[in-house]
Amino acid sequence: MPRIRVGPADEIQPGQPAFVKHGDIEIAVFRVDDGFRAYRNRCPHQQGPVCTGPVSGTLVATADTDWRLAWVLEGRVLICPWHSMEFDLDTGRRLRAQSERLRAYPVEVREGEVFVQLGPRSARPVTPSPA
């Protein structure tokens, strides 16, 4: 399985994906808290460039919020620029139709450098290792 170098971990900022290509596959790496997630830049809805959309939060009204609107998941929601579908950056799942999800890739941090491993799906967080 090929391993693709993305770049220095400290250059990937929250809300600003780092893009890499391998053949015709474009992958975006996102910093989420102290870890990283990598997703293919293709929306499962209509194949749009999902990872070029903004990273934000979302509004919900649930029993947890006493059925009042509340802003949640700030910095963890990727919004597809084509149809505004929202995806949880922690899991890759679409927020309001969880049967759809983004194609995820394992991420590894070695000596301060971020790498994406092509192959099996994974939405597991990766925490940078000490330098």
Q: What is the rounded average pLDDT for all residues in the chain?
A: 90
Q: Are strands 113-117 and 107-110 parallel, antiparallel or unpaired?
A: antiparallel
Q: Note whether residue 65 is domain-resident.
A: yes
Confirm whether 94 is domain-assigned: yes
pLDDT at residue number 121:
52
Residue 96 CA to residue 104 CA, distance in Å, equals: 19
Q: What is the pLDDT at residue 123?
A: 46
Q: What per-residue confidence (pLDDT) applies to 119?
A: 75
Q: What pLDDT, in 10s, does the model give residues 32-67?
A: 988 999 999 999 999 999 999 999 999 999 999 999
Residue 131 falls inside a structural domain = no
Distance (Å) of CA 101 to CA 40, 52, 82, 86, 130: 11, 16, 16, 10, 31
> What confidence category does residue 130 fall into, taking pLDDT thresholds of 50, 70 and 90?
very low
Contact in structure between 24 and 49 (CB atoms under 8 Å): no
| Domain membership flag for residue 122 | no
Structural domains of the chain, count: 1
CB within 8 A of 4, min separation 6: which ones?
Answer: 20, 22, 27, 115, 116, 117, 118
Q: Looking at residue 22, what is its pLDDT? A: 93
Residue 131 has pLDDT above 80, yes or no: no
| Band of residue 98 on the pLDDT scale cut at 50, 70, 90 | confident
Tell me whether residue 39 is in a domain.
yes
CB 5 within 8 A of CB 109: no
pLDDT confidence of residue 2:
87
Query: Is the residue at 40 inside a domain?
Result: yes
| Domain containing residue 62: CATH number | 2.102.10.10
Report percent pLDDT > 90 for the chain: 82
Give how far the C-alpha of residue 10 lies from the chain's centroid of Cα atoms, to the nearest Å: 17
